[in-house]
Amino acid sequence: MPKKPRHLVKNIYTADPRAHVYEGKLYIFPSHDIESGIPEDDTGAHFNMRDYHVYSMDDVEGECTDHGVAIDIDDVPWAKRQMWSNDVACKDGKYYMYFPAKDKDDIFRIGVAISDKPEGPYKAMPEPMKGSYSIDQSVFVDDDGTQYLYWGGIWGGQLQRYKNGKYEDNDDLRDPDEPALCAKITKLSDDMLEFGEEPRDVVVLDAYGKPLLTNDENRRFFEAPWVHKYKGKYYFSYSTGNTHLLCYAIGDNPYGPFTYAGVILTPVVGWTTHHSIVEYKGKWYLFHHDSKPSGGKTWLRSMKVVDLKYREDGTIETIDGMTDE
């Protein structure tokens, strides 16, 4: 069985950890939760984060080093508020941070910031990525070096406002018996600064080859898309949001479709479940967060790590989200 999860940072609140191996080290790119005093609402306004710290580890059992603030919202010309979950990709010795923030019209866009080092500091591009929207972007690099960007989150993440391919100030979801809203995928452009193609849906299928439906809230995508590769298969993992599960589906290519395969993590203390999965020094790990250190305050979360185990058939052993150090 996996070892018990352990919290990595205790002096500030960190959430949504995206982990990668760069320069032989494990780097973690979380969001930074703060107590901003904004009341809770359905848009997530109380998640009013404004900067990013970067962390690194030489050993998963060892110290988690804080490299300080990598970028602040005051350094992003187009951004107004709410710097939510970010991720970082590497190409030709440069590091590219992809992050969501609301623009001056309170619409989520995806920004890009560049650094010579994984820990930063990062310099933001003056405008967001053209045609970008919603939240929770992550980057997957395939074996041939192709870089893919995944993103999307419903409710506060505004994905439901693009049901017909363009922005509409309408938060209604699809009908319960219609296919669920999907995460998005695109190749990145050669310069890593824009979409390299028209975005596509990341479709999750049931065992009968049918897309999961809107009312299938224990299995359908809500937010936090992440892709990793294991033994030639592509694993698309994500949060179900209001049912608080971390699920996964398996496919044969980065675009999918992916067939639902099970639950990685059961509900944690708090509301959101947001994660990444990475191999480091021959072992697999799940990075995620909960709100236990803050006494259950859903907007003050703390990132954690736990061993991830595969069964012989390639499925993943379910981890109990309430188990702790």
Q: Residues in the chain, how many?
A: 325
Task: State the amino acid at position 203 in one-letter form.
Answer: V
In sequence order, the 6+-apart residues with CB closer than 8 A to the CB of 213 are 176, 177, 178, 179, 180, 220
Contacts 24+ apart (CB under 8 A), 101-105: 101/73, 101/76, 101/128, 103/78, 103/79, 103/128, 104/78, 104/80
Q: Do 308 and 277 contact (CB within 8 A), yes or no?
A: yes
Task: Please report where in the chains the tokens 């919202």 appear, as a residue.
Answer: 73
Q: Which residue has the tokens 């780097």?
A: 27
**H helical segments located in 118-171:** none
The catalytic site residues sit at 16, 223
Q: Return the C-alpha torsion angle 215, 218, 220, 221, nearest 10.
A: 130
Three-state secondary structure call for residue 155: helix
- Give which of 175, 254, 250, 185 is closest to 216, Cα–Cα: 175
